[in-house]
């Protein structure tokens, strides 16, 4: 049952903290209780919900003016700051209530006109609802328990009965000016209420101070929870789950491939998505439900989820272990039907609107897999996780709604109006994606040196990176230092079961792999006529066979995705220009260079490119540094001089230069079987 998490000591500490920055008490307390709401996923999720406070602030002239501080778009209640609650002059906003109608564009403009700070984010689309309610503090959430009651065919009567005069019920109207007027009118007609239940949408509470508004929210939600528990509750029938479902690591790449689309065949450009997997007993009960096809397709629990999850999830057939081909065929047909349905939905609702809309991509954002669980999908790991979180919450809401009645959210036409809202449409195409956004990159030997630099470079291009290294702690630390989605994994690439396990974990985490940089290596020295067989074999294990094992796993996943892919090998100048006493290193590297070409030849038809980088004289902070020292000493030079004067350009080559070479080969869509030298110029190692 929901409990108030308000603590006076914490609230006062925050008031004191913000007072030092010149933030007034009202706004500081608004921040405090907004975070309490945002921190409970039963109330709001990922940017959902909004809050406001009416207070007084100074204009630039020093004149004090009544303002509404309301959540700005792009802010999440869980982590909101005073800057996330921009101040608007209240009186001019309240005057808007006299208008009969106001378009969304005009409303946004009227709101922006009243900002004290012209650079503030756009105030919430529900700003006028907050402004038109007279109470000082107003809280709005999309609480699960309230939605389980409000998303019922008789939600109106049910909520009226449950709240019995404590809260009034507002019929569904799309957020904006009309809803603000309707809510304000309902409030006037029901003096003394503590809140408003917005059918098919959520709940508002209000109060004279922050604590009262917040605790009324908790109380209204608790009342809904009690009603759900009281029942009578019915169980739901389950379909028989598969005897043995296929592993997530094998299902994910198949779905990832199907849930992407080729947007430019000539350039082999794909609109890929990343996947986030979730499962639990509750999720399994839901996806194995006999009536899954009915309740899962009814629509989103509250309208703004549609922007993250689309209106319906995709349902796949059951993936049975050992029968993945059959699953792939059936899942492909399910995706095709999904896309067809989406096009039909767009065509149907687009015609009833005056201004034609631009169709969004028709790809699913949530996939329900009976026997297994659910996947959230998105253009980044973060977006995929958000879609998965919303899907998981939706399951909780639908399960509760079905237990006491029947889940019936807002209809398709209303959801279309949200998905194709003019203000959302205006944002289309305004932000360019990073060059390697939507890509998953796996790098071996990634804890240090070239591998770590390469991970940073790919992350900077927008990719999610998986960093494998024998040094478990090092890979975890290197991944934690990445700005973006990064997974650090312990992996000894000379052990094939380790490599397989690492690829499995990457598929479970991100859904698959698009670019693999086989970088791990180490130098062995020895005169070739004298070196022991054991040493030579050890070098071949790491400098050749490990590359083969990594590449084979990469091809396996890439073929399951069927969206192409890139293999990149760290060869070495040793592969073309043997160094004295470096046979044990150069021989397997030469084989690896050839390996790269063999992959280009054998898997070009799969859309998989294969290229190599030959780097030389790079200070890595690793094994090669001892080697650099030895060579510099042999020439009577310091390492610094050796590095900066030992090549044609007299320029030192850094790990970041090598990383950029990998990035450029990953981006070179028409290049395969190539070798790129990054050595400042070494004519003896030049390829011919
Ligand atoms: Zn809302």
At 151-208, the pLDDT tens digits run 999 999 999 999 999 999 999 999 999 999 999 999 999 999 999 999 999 999 999 9
Distance from residue 420's CA to the centre of ligand 1 (Å): 17
Q: Are 419 and 345 in contact (CB under 8 A)?
A: no
Q: Are 129 and 200 in contact (CB under 8 A)?
A: no
Q: Kindly state whether residue 242 falls inside one of the protein's structural domains.
A: no
State the Cα–Cα distance between residues 644 and 367, nearest whole angstrom.
54
- On whether both 148 and 271 belong to a single domain, the answer is no
Q: Please list, residue by residue across 280-299, b when 16 or more beta carbons sit within 10 angstroms of its beta carbon and e when fewer do.
A: eeebbebbbbeebeebbebb
State the Cα–Cα distance between residues 536 and 357, nearest whole angstrom.
65
CATH number at residue 285: 3.40.225
Q: Kindly state whether residue 237 falls inside one of the protein's structural domains.
A: no
Cβ neighbours of residue 57 closer than 8 Å, sequence gap 6 or more: 24, 64, 65, 67, 87, 116
- On whether both 40 and 140 belong to a single domain, the answer is yes
The string of DSSP letters for 268-312 reads TEEE--EEEEE--HHHHHHHTBTTHHHHTTS--SSGGGHHHH-SS
Predicted confidence at residue 622, as pLDDT, reads 58
Nearest residue to 199 via CA among 233, 234, 161, 151: 151
Angle at 347 between CA 344 and CA 353, to 5 degrees: 145
Predicted confidence at residue 657, as pLDDT, reads 96
Q: How many domains does the chain have?
A: 4
State the Cα–Cα distance between residues 627 and 617, nearest whole angstrom.
9
Q: Kindly state whether residue 1 falls inside one of the protein's structural domains.
A: no
Is the dihedral angle over the CA atoms 515, 468, 255, 390 positive or is it negative? Answer: negative
- On whether both 379 and 465 belong to a single domain, the answer is no
The tokens of 35 are what? 């975070």
Cβ neighbours of residue 454 closer than 8 Å, sequence gap 6 or more: 443, 446, 517, 519, 658, 659, 662, 663
The total of other beta-carbon atoms located within 10 Å of residue 688's CB is 3
Domain boundary among 178, 203, 230: 230
State the Cα–Cα distance between residues 147 and 45, nearest whole angstrom.
13
Report phi then psi at 43, rounded to 5: -105, -55
Exposed, middle or buried, 208 (CB in 10 Å: 0-12/13-18/19+)? exposed
Domain that holds residue 570: 440-616+654-678
- On whether both 328 and 394 belong to a single domain, the answer is yes
- On whether both 265 and 135 belong to a single domain, the answer is no
What is the DSSP pairing of strand 261-264 with strand 608-615?
unpaired
Q: Kindly state whether residue 173 falls inside one of the protein's structural domains.
A: yes
State the Cα–Cα distance between residues 553 and 259, nearest whole angstrom.
21
DSSP label at residue 72: B
Distance from residue 201's CA to the centre of ligand 1 (Å): 6
Domain boundary among 169, 201, 230: 230
CATH number at residue 550: 3.40.50.720
Q: Kindly state whether residue 2 falls inside one of the protein's structural domains.
A: no
Q: Are 544 and 591 in contact (CB under 8 A)?
A: yes
Report phi then psi at 668, rounded to 5: -80, 90
The tokens of 602 are what? 């054998």
- On whether both 257 and 361 belong to a single domain, the answer is yes
Q: Kindly state whether residue 178 falls inside one of the protein's structural domains.
A: yes
Nearest residue to 618 via CA among 665, 651, 569: 651
Distance from residue 410's CA to the centre of ligand 1 (Å): 13
The total of other beta-carbon atoms located within 10 Å of residue 535's CB is 13
- On whether both 485 and 350 belong to a single domain, the answer is no
Exposed, middle or buried, 184 (CB in 10 Å: 0-12/13-18/19+)? buried
Q: Are 617 and 680 in contact (CB under 8 A)?
A: yes
Q: Are 150 and 200 in contact (CB under 8 A)?
A: yes
Distance from residue 165's CA to the centre of ligand 1 (Å): 22
Predicted confidence at residue 477, as pLDDT, reads 95
State the Cα–Cα distance between residues 168 and 161, nearest whole angstrom.
10
Distance from residue 55's CA to the centre of ligand 1 (Å): 22
State the Cα–Cα distance between residues 57 and 67, nearest whole angstrom.
7
- On whether both 584 and 636 belong to a single domain, the answer is no
Predicted confidence at residue 463, as pLDDT, reads 98
Q: Are 210 and 29 in contact (CB under 8 A)?
A: yes
Domain boundary among 197, 230, 263: 230
The tokens of 124 are what? 């919430």
Predicted confidence at residue 624, as pLDDT, reads 55
Distance from residue 50's CA to the centre of ligand 1 (Å): 7
- On whether both 543 and 624 belong to a single domain, the answer is no
Q: Are 545 and 604 in contact (CB under 8 A)?
A: no
Q: Are 11 and 40 in contact (CB under 8 A)?
A: no
Distance from residue 124's CA to the centre of ligand 1 (Å): 10
Distance from residue 477's CA to the centre of ligand 1 (Å): 39
Q: Kindly state whether residue 307 falls inside one of the protein's structural domains.
A: yes
Distance from residue 470's CA to the centre of ligand 1 (Å): 48
Distance from residue 379's CA to the centre of ligand 1 (Å): 24
Q: Are 440 and 274 in contact (CB under 8 A)?
A: yes
The tokens of 296 are what? 């899962």
| pTM of the predicted structure, to 2 decimals | 0.94
The answer to whether the peptide bond before residue 427 is cis (omega within 30 degrees of 0) is no
Q: Kindly state whether residue 501 falls inside one of the protein's structural domains.
A: yes
- On whether both 647 and 658 belong to a single domain, the answer is no
Distance from residue 298's CA to the centre of ligand 1 (Å): 19
Kindly name the residue from 18, 172, 338, 585 that is annotated as catalytic. Answer: 585
- On whether both 101 and 84 belong to a single domain, the answer is yes
Distance from residue 198's CA to the centre of ligand 1 (Å): 9
- On whether both 643 and 662 belong to a single domain, the answer is no
Which residue reads 């106001």 in tokens? 102
Distance from residue 123's CA to the centre of ligand 1 (Å): 13
The tokens of 490 are what? 């312990």
Q: Which ranges of 318-448 would DSSP assign to H, the alpha helix?
A: 324-350, 381-404, 412-419, 422-427
Distance from residue 290's CA to the centre of ligand 1 (Å): 31
The series of mean pLDDT values per 10 residues for the chain, 688 residues long, is: 94 97 97 96 89 96 96 93 97 96 93 95 94 98 97 96 96 95 97 96 97 98 96 79 87 97 90 97 94 96 91 96 95 97 94 82 96 97 96 97 96 91 73 93 96 97 98 94 94 97 98 98 93 96 98 98 97 88 94 97 98 87 66 80 81 94 97 94 82
Collapsing DSSP to helix, strand or coil, 424 comes out as helix
Predicted confidence at residue 687, as pLDDT, reads 79
Is-catalytic flag, 585?
yes
The tokens of 565 are what? 């892919």
Distance from residue 666's CA to the centre of ligand 1 (Å): 42
Predicted confidence at residue 201, as pLDDT, reads 96
């Amino acid at each position: 049952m929901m409990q108030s998490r308000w603590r006076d000591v914490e609230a006062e500490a925050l008031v004191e903290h913000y007072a030092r920055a010149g933030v007034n008490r009202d706004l500081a307390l608004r921040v405090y209780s907004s975070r309490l709401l945002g921190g409970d996923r039963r109330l709001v999720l990922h940017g959902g919900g909004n809050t406001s406070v009416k207070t007084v602030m100074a204009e630039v002239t020093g004149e004090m003016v009544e303002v509404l501080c309301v959540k700005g778009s792009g802010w999440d209640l869980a982590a909101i700051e005073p800057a996330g609650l921009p101040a608007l002059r209240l009186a001019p906003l309240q005057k808007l209530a006299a208008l009969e109608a106001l378009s969304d564009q005009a409303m946004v403009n009227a709101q922006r006109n009243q900002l004290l700070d012209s650079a503030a984010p756009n105030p919430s689309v529900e700003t006028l609802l907050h402004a038109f309610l007279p109470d000082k503090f107003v809280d709005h959430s999309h609480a699960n328990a309230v939605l389980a009651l409000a998303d019922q065919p008789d939600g109106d009567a049910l909520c009226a009965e449950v709240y019995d005069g404590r809260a009034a019920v507002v019929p569904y109207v799309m957020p904006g000016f009309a809803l603000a007027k309707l809510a304000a009118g309902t409030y006037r007609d029901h003096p003394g209420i503590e809140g408003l239940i917005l059918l098919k949408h959520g709940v508002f509470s209000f109060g004279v101070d922050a604590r009262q508004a917040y605790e009324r929210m908790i109380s209204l939600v608790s009342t809904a929870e009690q009603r759900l528990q009281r029942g009578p509750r019915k169980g739901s029938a389950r379909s028989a789950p598969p005897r043995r479902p296929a592993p997530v690591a094998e299902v994910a790449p198949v779905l990832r491939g199907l849930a992407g689309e080729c947007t430019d065949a000539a350039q082999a450009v794909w609109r890929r998505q990343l996947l986030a997997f979730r499962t639990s007993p509750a999720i399994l009960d839901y996806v194995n439900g006999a009536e899954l096809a009915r309740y899962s397709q009814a629509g989103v629990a509250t309208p703004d989820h549609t922007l993250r999850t689309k209106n319906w999830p995709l349902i796949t057939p059951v993936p049975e272990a050992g029968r993945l081909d059959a699953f792939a065929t059936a899942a492909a047909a399910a995706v095709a039907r999904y896309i067809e349905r989406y096009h039909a939905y767009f065509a149907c609702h687009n015609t009833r609107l005056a201004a034609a809309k631009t169709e969004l991509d028709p790809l699913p954002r949530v996939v329900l897999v009976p026997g297994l669980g659910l996947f959230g999908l998105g253009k980044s790991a973060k977006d995929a996780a958000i879609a998965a979180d919303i899907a998981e919450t939706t399951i909780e809401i639908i399960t509760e709604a079905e237990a006491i009645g029947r889940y019936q959210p807002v209809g398709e036409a209303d959801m279309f109006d949200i998905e194709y809202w003019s203000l959302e449409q205006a944002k289309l195409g305004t932000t360019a994606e990073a060059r390697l956004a939507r890509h998953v990159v796996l790098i071996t030997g990634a804890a240090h040196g070239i591998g770590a630099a390469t991970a940073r470079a790919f992350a900077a291009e927008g990719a999610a990176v998986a960093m494998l290294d024998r040094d478990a702690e090092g890979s975890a630390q290197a991944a934690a230092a990445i700005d973006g989605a990064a997974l650090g994994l312990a992996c000894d690439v000379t052990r094939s079961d380790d490599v397989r396990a690492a690829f499995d974990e990457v598929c479970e985490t991100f859904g698959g792999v698009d670019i693999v940089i086989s970088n791990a290596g180490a130098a062995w020295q020895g005169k070739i006529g004298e070196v022991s067989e054991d040493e030579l074999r050890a070098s071949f294990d790491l400098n050749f066979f490990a590359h083969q094992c990594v590449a084979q796993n990469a091809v396996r996943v890439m073929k399951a995705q069927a969206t192409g892919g890139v293999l990149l090998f760290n060869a070495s100048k040793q592969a073309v220009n043997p160094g004295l006493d470096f046979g044990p290193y150069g021989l397997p590297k030469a084989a690896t260079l050839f390996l790269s070409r063999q992959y280009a030849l054998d898997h070009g038809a799969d859309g998989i490119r294969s290229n190599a980088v030959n780097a030389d004289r790079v200070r890595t902070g690793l094994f090669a540094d001892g080697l650099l020292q030895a060579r510099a000493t042999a020439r009577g030079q310091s390492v610094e001089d050796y590095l900066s004067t030992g090549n044609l350009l007299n320029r030192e080559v850094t790990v970041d230069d090598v990383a950029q070479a990998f990035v450029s080969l990953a981006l070179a869509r028409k290049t395969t079987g190539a070798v790129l030298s990054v050595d400042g110029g070494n004519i003896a190692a030049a390829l011919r």
